[in-house]
């Protein structure tokens, strides 16, 4: 995932009953405890329950690129 990518939660894609919470990757998490198996990014969400925050720390394993959703549905 690169800065500027449009992402959403994997759980929102699996559950068709909720609206997708979209956000943009604004940075990579650089911490001493950041292991390769636990990679995280900072995301700024435009809608949904996390939109009130300036940015949200998210595990890459819990996110999905929006362009990947479009490819799976076509």
List pLDDT tens digits, range 12-70: 888 878 888 999 999 988 776 656 666 889 999 999 999 999 999 999 999 999 988 86
Predicted model pTM: 0.82
Q: Is the dihedral of CA 16, 4, 53, 28 positive or negative?
A: positive
Cβ atoms of 8 and 69 closer than 8 Å: yes
| Cβ pair 37, 61 in contact under 8 A | no
φ, ψ (nearest 5 deg) of residue 10 = -60, -40
């Amino acid at each position: 995932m690169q800065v500027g990518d449009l992402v959403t939660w994997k759980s929102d894609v699996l559950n068709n009953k909720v609206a997708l919470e979209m956000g943009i990757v604004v940075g990579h998490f650089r911490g001493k405890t950041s292991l390769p198996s636990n990679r995280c990014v900072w995301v700024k969400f435009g809608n949904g329950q996390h939109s009130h925050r300036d940015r949200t720390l998210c595990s890459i394993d819990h996110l999905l690129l929006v362009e990947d959703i479009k490819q799976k549905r076509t």
